Amino acid sequence: SQQGEEDPQALSIQEGENATMNCSYKTSINNLQWYRQNSGRGLVHLILIRSNEREKHSGRLRVTLDTSKKSSSLLITASRAADTASYFCGVVTNAGKSTFGDGTTLTVKP
């Protein structure tokens, strides 16, 4: 199976709740990136976390990286209906090759 596998596949929450998505990978990485995709459109870059970093914040987004467990999580706090989208993690190896998982589909109900 490919790197950058997201979990869960689908997540449905109420507005105001927090949403947590996870990403697992198999080999050593240079960095890991999280993206959002609205239906049928291109991916929008959210956060990049380097292999020597453990946590990064950007607004309501918080990303953690555990290289010993080869996993990352994306937390969206105080979710809004506009956060409804698919979220992907992209893993970039030291050779510069990027792979993405199938994504987590997040639905935020108003």
**Contact positions vs another protein (CB under 8 A):** 30-31, 33, 35, 40-45, 48, 50, 88, 90, 92-103
Distance of CA 80 to the CA centre of its chain: 17
For the bound state, the minimum distance from the C-beta of residue 30 to another protein, rounded and expressed in Å, comes to 4
- Alpha-carbon gap, residue 60 to 40, rounded angstroms: 24
Residue in 17, 108, 35, 100 with CA at minimum distance from that of residue 74: 35
- Alpha-carbon gap, residue 80 to 107, rounded angstroms: 10
For the bound state, the minimum distance from the C-beta of residue 9 to another protein, rounded and expressed in Å, comes to 10
Q: Please identify, using beta-carbon distances, which residue of 19 and 34 lies nearer to another protein.
A: 34
For the bound state, the minimum distance from the C-beta of residue 53 to another protein, rounded and expressed in Å, comes to 11
What would the two tokens of residue 20 be? Answer: 């947590």
Q: Please identify, using beta-carbon distances, which residue of 17 and 57 lies nearer to another protein.
A: 57
Q: Please identify, using beta-carbon distances, which residue of 7 and 15 lies nearer to another protein.
A: 7
For the bound state, the minimum distance from the C-beta of residue 26 to another protein, rounded and expressed in Å, comes to 15
Q: How many CB atoms lie under 10 A from the CB of residue 35?
A: 20
